Structure 1
Amino acid sequence: MRRLAGLIVVPLLLLSTAACGSDVKDSDSAPSKNGLPAITAGAAFGEKPTLAKGEGDPPKELKVDVISEGDGAEVKDGDYIEVNYLGQAWDSDEPFDNSFDRGEPFKLTLGAGQVIKGWDEGLKGQKVGSRVELGIPPELGYGEQGQGDIKPNATLVFVVDVLKSTSVPKAAAGAEVAQDDAALPKVGVNTDGKAPKITIPKTDPPKKLVSNYILESDGEKVTAKDSVIVAYEAYLWKDAKKFDSTYDLGKTQTFPLEQLTLKGLKDGLVGKKIGSRVLLVIPPDQAFGEQEQQGIPKNSTLVFSVDILAKA
């Protein structure tokens, strides 16, 4: 099965509403807890921290130290969160990466395997507005392989500010819309979080973009500048062959629409309501045209069922 990763510019970090306040306001440093390195400067939520080098043997298990607790909601698996972070190896006093200098938070779906396990486990249950320090052993980090400047079997230390959390429903909802055009695919209306069934007719595909509600919610409309969190099934019209699915991977996908390179996918979502399920039939001239792409044959018509779950 071919993934659509090439259709969107995705920020890479650790793999392959305004923030709530922090209890720490003016502190320049924070002492070591749980044996984790001390924050030697910039200890307050929102400030770029400086970390001391780790002392003694690194932890064998995940260590979590709440530097300051916010008063926002607790983040849970499936939530779309925004964070700022600084990462450093245990045996170093120089960070290998941080988002503070980039001036843009890092965004992820918690518990979806988009980051190293130490992040998914260590951030779960933290409150929005909190600053936490994580000590992550190799098996919850990059293991024996390492990653970039991170050496194999490295123990990692992160300071993470939890800025924002968005709860993501498991499926679209809303009023069912009649599917009475026999020349178009039929899409299931289940709302249990499982993949809807798609039945593609054995006829010639339409020549123009189709963007139809299957379930129409009363949410706000998607704009071309939005980022949306979606679940989708994707098929070739010819032979009704599935080529991609978030359901098969067990995690959602975030589409910053300004960065989508698949024109028909972007155009088909703009103007639709958050919380809805949409059928998209994308003709070749708004898909990949005469170019084969990731194993998708040239001149292919694409069929999507997209649940627009939330705005990121």
Structure 2
Amino acid sequence: MRRLAGLLAVLPLVLLPACSSGSGGSAGASPSGTAPATAPAVPSPVASASPMPTVAGDFGTKATITLPGGQPSGQFVVNTVSEGDGPAVAKNDWVTVNYTAKDWTTGKDVSDSFASGQKPQLYQAGGGQLVPAFDQSVLGKKVGSRLLVVAPPAAAFGGQGNSSLGVGATDTVVFVLDVMEAVPQDGTIPGALTQPPATAPQIKDNGKAAPTITVPAGPPAPPTELQKYVLVKGDGKPVASGQQLVVQYTGVLWANSQQFDSSWSHGGAQALQVGTGQLIKGWDEGLVGQTVGSRVELVVPPALGYGDKAQSSVPANSTLVFVIDILAAV
């Protein structure tokens, strides 16, 4: 079993699998990188500089980036090629972007999310976890926008380059980012609830707060198999194994309706990978196939939860009840 000491402060409980020593979900391969611990100072972004690359192609498709003659200005440029009509991205929103990248210094294509086996990048905007070319560029931009980002070395890969992508420490990189979606940390699934049968835990919606989950009086004997109830049916695509989800969730114990975990206690919506063994089995089995935009209740028996080992405030052999809002999937 993974040790919980020191992890619960930074990872919600459901991210810890029942029996694993692995880490949490991964965003997958991309040119975005992580922000170095001691990154050099990044200049404030400007809307344009001379010279400037040009961009061709439609939003949502791989961009064609044409480099101008001459050397880059050294400025951090965030230029709106085309503006969307969605909400503006706020700090800590979970944002999904498609991207195309080209190394200005070498003239070589770097990477793109449209290639086979690649996915859009999902991250928290302005959270400081990714390099500024991704992290800062989307702040204040509307969903549906295409952005041209000219990233000097400090903004591209923190002045360290990226050897796996062939980007040197002094290279300027040009990115085209398509802002596909943004989910605020207090996002939740609206709509009237379809309550499960009276023998199952009942749910009270509390708006932008953790729902109240009440196990029937008694309580009756807990189920020995996974129970799934769709409280609000979303109209998005079915969740596939291996996808990253953005979710709100709350979990209580079947024995006494006592809450033991909630995303609302961790700052709001969380991102996690489903169907790959990084979560408890009840989540992997219960969420794959559900449609994005759904609110789902899962009743998870011990064998699909934490088994016969106690986990923090969850006693051994506990049946668990979750309400999960599937806000996005990448």
Give your verdict on TM over 0.5: yes
> For the structure 1 residues 222 and 261, does the alpha-carbon distance in structure 2 shift closer, same or farther, using more than 3 Å as the test?
farther
Which of residues 65, 73, 88 in structure 1 aligns to 2:79? 65
CA distance in structure 1 between the aligned counterparts of 2:115 and 2:292, rounded to whole angstroms: 29
Q: Give the residue type in structure 2 aligned to 1:83.
A: N
* Number of equivalent positions: 281
Q: Is the 8 A contact 2:274 2:284 kept in 1?
A: no
Task: Name structure 2 gaps, 5 residues minimum.
Answer: 1-7, 17-22, 35-46
1:130 has 2:130 as partner: no
- Distance (Å, rounded) in 1 between the aligned partners of 2:143 and 2:180: 9
- Structure 2 equivalent of residue 108 of structure 1: 122
The structure 1 residue matched to 2:293, chosen from 275, 281, 297, is: 275
Give a deviation string over 1:219-239, Cα, whole Å, max 9, x none. Answer: 337635385542223456689
TM-score (norm 1): 0.62
One-letter amino acid of the counterpart of residue 112, structure 2: S
**Aligned-residue CA RMSD (Å):** 4.9
Supply the distance in 2 between the matched residues of 1:302 and 1:109 (Cα, whole angstroms).
29
Contact between 1:174 and 1:275, CA under 8 Å: does it hold in 2? Answer: no
- C-alpha distance after superposition, 1:102-146 (max 9, x if no partner): 4334232563736445424322425636351233674x67658x5
Following superposition, the deviation at residue 174 of structure 1 comes to: 2.3
- Cα gap change, 1:69 to 1:174, in 2 (>3 Å): closer
The question of 1:162 aligning with 2:178 is answered yes
Q: Which amino acid is the alignment partner of residue 132 of structure 1?
A: L
Residue 285 of structure 1: how far off its partner (Å): 2.5
1:216 correspondence with 2:232: yes
- The amino acid of 2:228's aligned partner reads S
Aligned partners of 1:51 and 1:93 also within 8 Å:
no
Tell me the amino acid that sits aligned with residue 108 of structure 1. L
Q: Which runs of no fewer than 5 residues in structure 1 stay unpaired?
A: 17-31
**Counterpart contact for 1:277–1:305, Cα < 8 Å:** yes
CA distance in 2, matches of 1:148, 1:165: 27
In the alignment, structure 1 residue 98 sits paired with structure 2 residue 118 = no
> Does 2:231 correspond to 1:231?
no
Q: How far is 1:83 from its partner?
A: 0.8
Task: Assess if the C-alpha contact under 8 Å between 2:51 and 2:73 holds in 1.
Answer: no
**Pair 254,220 (structure 1): closer, same or farther in 2 beyond 3 Å:** farther
Partner of 2:192: 175
1:82/1:52 CA distance change after superposition, 3 Å? same
What residue is the counterpart of 1:76 in the other structure? Answer: 88
Cα pair 1:174 1:276 within 8 Å, conserved:
no
Structure 1 Cα separation of the partners of residues 222 and 70 of structure 2: 61
SS of residue in 2 equivalent to 1:268 = helix
Q: TM-score, normalised by structure 2?
A: 0.60
